Structure 1
């Protein structure tokens, strides 16, 4: 059975998957002041970061329309797997559900499953890799759905950001128990908890926070030799390489993948941000 994976643009796919015809990215919309930017392959990260830095207002995002999702479902593939941002962080998941209902009502029956990643960025990519593994193994659609939901529920996402201001101003930190003053250069180690954001620790300065995050991962991960670790970065490839080496030093993941962020992740993680999922 042929399959297609539809993702929203917070899923920071590697270059080879962006070129893979089995993938389609449904873009969110970004806005900085009067600038409205489609988060697709025309996204210019350096120009966008400059606009964000020059603005006194907080950058905002808007989820894709149900019609965009419905259009993505209209293809020759037998099975469609859709991966979206956490439903607690964005309306993308609900929009995808509406797009599925529109497709079934207006076009006809098809195997379409919408996966709420309960994560973002590298978390969505991690799920996408697993969907490919399962679908290519020859499993039936229903079995892939069952296994991918189980996999999602066992996944962990951590991030350390230079600034939490965009997340705070956009109301994405409602689940945090404690926030610390950035003027003290204290960097919280944040963790995705059932689709929301919590705090797991902190470090004085980015380097110490990243070391502590790697230590937490080493202490908590089970069967790393069976898992991939995904490391997404915002304009800081060298920092991402350092994080990869810190993690692999004590934790033998079967594969480590470094990802460039597109527009949505760049908006919320901010310049210098690191997101890790396994």
Structure 2
């Protein structure tokens, strides 16, 4: 089966995935004050981080248009699978679904499916890899949809951030959680819920202790390690990502571990020093 995999730009690609070029990214647009950053290959993470640090207000993100998704699906009859940010956190999913309707009107025989990741960053990446795995095995459209939706329902996303302000200011968290971080150097371990919202699941005094708590949470949630790929997204902190990778390797026999730097959307919300894991 000929197929395409499309993701919004919160899907973080590893260097190897970028080189392979099998996943097409549809960029969101980020705005800091009056300056716009397109979350594509031109995105400069360090310049963006500095712009955010120098800005007193709240940076914003804008999802791709339905036309952007329509174009990414391809004006032909090649099957397309799309992965977006959690529908509870962004309008990207709804825009992708509208784009699906537009392309199916023009090509009634074309098969398109949009996966609500109920996650972000490396959580989206793992879904793309799962689609690719089933497609390369020769699975049909319906089987891929069924199996990947089942995978999404049992996949977990956790994260530790240096600063929760951007999530709070954009309405993704309550003020209380962000206040805890700044007052007592308490770093919450946050999780994506099955519905795709964000909740706190643990906490530590300082980042290193919070990362250890996060690693411990992995063992509390799954036992079928050999059947799972473990993913890490980091925002400008490869040393922390390496620390988490080594701690995971000591404790759990995952099938493999992949590491990616955050693209623009992940950088906006994870902020400098943030770590996101999915498994």
- CA positional deviation for 1:175: 11
Determine if contact 2:77/2:110 at 8 Å carries over to the other structure: no
CA distance in 2, matches of 1:107, 1:149: 25
Superposed CA deviations along residues 9-54 of structure 1, whole A, max 9, x for unmatched, are: 0000112322434321000000000101110000000000000000
- CA positional deviation for 1:247: 1.4
Query: Match for residue 273 of structure 1?
Result: 274
CA distance in 2, matches of 1:177, 1:117: 24
| 1:65-144 equivalence runs, <5 A | 65-75=65-75, 78-144=78-144
CA distance in 2, matches of 1:77, 1:265: 32
CA distance in 1, matches of 2:177, 2:136: 41
CA distance in 1, matches of 2:21, 2:232: 24
Superposed CA deviations along residues 210-241 of structure 1, whole A, max 9, x for unmatched, are: 01110111222120111111000000001100
Is there any run of 5+ residues in structure 2 with no aligned partner, and where? none
- CA positional deviation for 1:105: 1.5
CA distance in 1, matches of 2:170, 2:259: 27
Two-structure CA RMSD over aligned residues (Å): 1.6
- CA positional deviation for 1:107: 3.9
Is there any run of 5+ residues in structure 1 with no aligned partner, and where? none
Distance 1:181 1:258, change over 3 A: closer
Deviates more, 1:72-81 or 1:225-234: 72-81
Determine if contact 1:176/1:199 at 8 Å carries over to the other structure: no
Name the count of aligned residue pairs: 278
Distance 1:46 1:177, change over 3 A: closer
Query: Match for residue 17 of structure 1?
Result: 17
Determine if contact 1:218/1:247 at 8 Å carries over to the other structure: no
Deviates more, 1:178-187 or 1:54-63: 178-187
- CA positional deviation for 1:77: 6.3
Query: Match for residue 167 of structure 2?
Result: 167
SS of the residue corresponding to residue 191 of structure 2 reads: strand
CA distance in 2, matches of 1:31, 1:181: 25
CA distance in 2, matches of 1:256, 1:117: 19
The two structures have a TM-score, normalised by structure 2, of 0.96
CA distance in 1, matches of 2:57, 2:30: 13
Query: Match for residue 223 of structure 1?
Result: 224
Determine if contact 1:4/1:77 at 8 Å carries over to the other structure: no
